[in-house]
Amino acid sequence: MAENEAPQGQQQQPQVKMNILTQFIRDLSFENILSQKGVQGEVQPDVSVQVNLDAKKRSTDHQFEVVTKLQVESKAKDSDAKLFLLELEYAGIFHIEGVPDDQMHPFLLIECPRMLFPFVRRIVSDVTRDGGFPPLNLENIDFVQLYRNELARRQQQQQPNGQTAGA
């Protein structure tokens, strides 16, 4: 038997099937702080982006809702004056089959947001442009690193630090 061949008794892993059933904006807020203050002249922006992810199983078999939560804040480089604040919750309903239970959590928080990201990027670009700023083209988000950072943060929170809560 060749090295690459699987033993005859071993079953092949099921084929992973993923379909986006629907996607939608759950919540969107854009505040143009610059125009409210009446600031005039050219302002160089400094943009910060925060990303949070959420996933939950729906009552229907094999369906999951994944939400990408984005907060984009722009400040003037030469001061702390805020220019705009954009908050977006973009959701997708996915039908997923063939992913083992122990791999479902990372699959939901890495692969699903990766599928939604081009749409999120387009919305952010359109909203910032329509809000009176140059269109903001988000850089790619490393969802694998984001997932690892969240796992490390949770693990750090669970480690006892020698103090009890409320002490």
Nearest to 150 by CA among 93, 115, 96, 105: 105
Q: How long a stretch of residues is the chain?
A: 167
pLDDT values of the chain reduced to their tens digit, one per residue, 167 residues: 445 554 554 556 678 899 999 999 999 999 998 776 665 556 667 899 999 999 999 998 999 999 999 999 998 887 778 899 999 999 999 999 999 999 999 999 999 999 999 999 999 999 999 998 889 999 999 999 999 998 898 888 887 664 444 44
Q: Structural domain of residue 145, as residue ranges?
A: 17-157
User: Cα separation of 93 and 57, whole Å?
Assistant: 10
Residue 167 domain flag: no
CA distances from 45 to 13, 54, 121, 133 (A): 50, 29, 18, 10
Cβ pair 66, 117 in contact under 8 A = no
Residue 166 domain flag: no
Residue 10 domain flag: no
**What pTM, to 2 d.p., does this model score?**
0.80
